[in-house]
C-alpha cells in the first residue's frame, strides 16, 4: 500500500479489506467474475444517479450499496444517509432491480448500516459488514424491527405486577423503534427472571438469533446461568 495515497483511496482500501474479511470478493466494474464467489462487491457500479462506490451482489442479485467517505468525514456519516438512500432507490445499469434494502456509509474505520425494510429506517453504527449468507438469511424474513410488532400480548400468569409492567413497557419501547431503554426494579423483585422472560419472547416470537446478557460480577453470572437453565 502506497504512503502517497489520498484519504479517499485509504478509506477504500480499508473498506476492501473489511469486505474481504466478511467473505466478499471485491471486483472492478469492468472485470466482474460472478463465479468467483456468491458475494461480489462491485466498485463504481453505474446507476441512473451516478456511479455507486460499491454495489453488493449475492448470487448475482443486488442487495445493497456502500457509500465510501474519507476518514475525516466520519462525523458526518449520518448527513450522507440521504445520498446513500438515493443510490439504494436508483436503477442499476443493465438491471431491472427493486430498491436495495441494505445501505452502508463507511470511512473504513467508522461504518453505519441501515435496513430500509424497517418500518422506520434509521442507521446504526456497526463494526463490520454482514456476510453474503447473512444477507441471504435476512431477505428470507421480515426485518427484526418489523418482527417486534408481531410479538403477542404478554401472558401474565405467575408474574408479579412490577414484572408485567417492566416487560410490557420494554416491549412497547422496542415497538416504538427506540434504540435504548432503562428498566429500574427494586432489589428482590425478580429482575433476572424478568429479563429471561423478555429474552424468551424475543427468541420465540421475534425470531431473534442472539441476545447478549451481561453481568458485572461472577456471582451474578453464575446465578443468571442457573436461572436461564431452570
pLDDT digits (tens, 9 = 90+) for 27-77: 999 999 999 999 999 999 999 888 999 999 999 999 999 998 877 665 666
> Residues of the chain whose pLDDT is less than 70?
1-4, 72-83
Q: How far apart are the first and last CA of the chain?
A: 54
Domains and CATH numbers, the chain: 7-139 (3.90.1570.30), 144-229 (no CATH)
pLDDT at 36: 94
pLDDT at 81: 66
pLDDT at 80: 61
Amino acid at each position: 500500500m502506497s504512503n502517497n495515497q489520498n484519504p479517499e483511496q485509504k478509506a477504500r482500501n480499508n473498506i476492501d479489506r473489511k469486505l474481504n474479511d466478511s467473505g466478499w470478493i471485491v471486483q472492478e466494474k469492468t472485470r466482474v467474475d460472478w463465479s468467483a464467489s456468491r458475494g461480489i462487491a462491485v466498485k463504481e457500479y453505474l446507476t441512473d444517479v451516478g456511479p455507486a462506490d460499491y454495489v453488493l451482489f449475492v448470487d448475482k442479485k443486488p442487495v445493497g450499496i456502500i457509500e465510501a467517505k474519507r476518514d475525516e468525514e466520519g462525523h458526518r456519516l449520518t448527513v450522507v444517509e440521504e445520498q446513500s438512500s438515493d443510490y439504494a432507490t436508483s436503477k442499476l445499469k443493465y438491471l431491472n432491480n427493486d430498491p436495495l434494502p441494505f445501505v452502508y456509509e463507511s470511512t473504513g474505520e467508522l461504518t453505519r448500516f441501515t435496513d430500509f425494510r424497517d418500518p422506520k429506517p434509521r442507521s446504526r453504527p456497526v463494526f463490520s459488514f454482514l456476510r453474503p449468507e447473512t444477507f441471504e438469511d435476512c431477505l428470507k424474513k421480515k426485518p427484526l424491527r418489523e418482527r417486534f410488532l408481531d410479538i403477542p400480548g404478554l401472558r401474565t400468569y405467575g408474574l408479579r405486577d412490577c414484572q408485567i409492567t417492566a416487560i410490557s413497557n420494554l416491549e412497547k419501547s422496542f415497538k416504538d423503534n427506540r434504540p435504548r431503554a432503562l428498566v429500574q426494579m427494586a432489589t428482590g423483585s425478580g429482575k433476572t427472571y424478568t429479563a429471561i422472560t423478555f429474552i424468551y419472547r424475543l427468541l420465540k416470537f421475534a425470531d431473534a438469533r442472539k441476545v447478549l446478557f451481561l453481568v458485572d460480577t461472577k456471582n451474578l453470572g453464575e446465578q443468571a446461568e442457573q436461572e436461564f437453565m431452570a
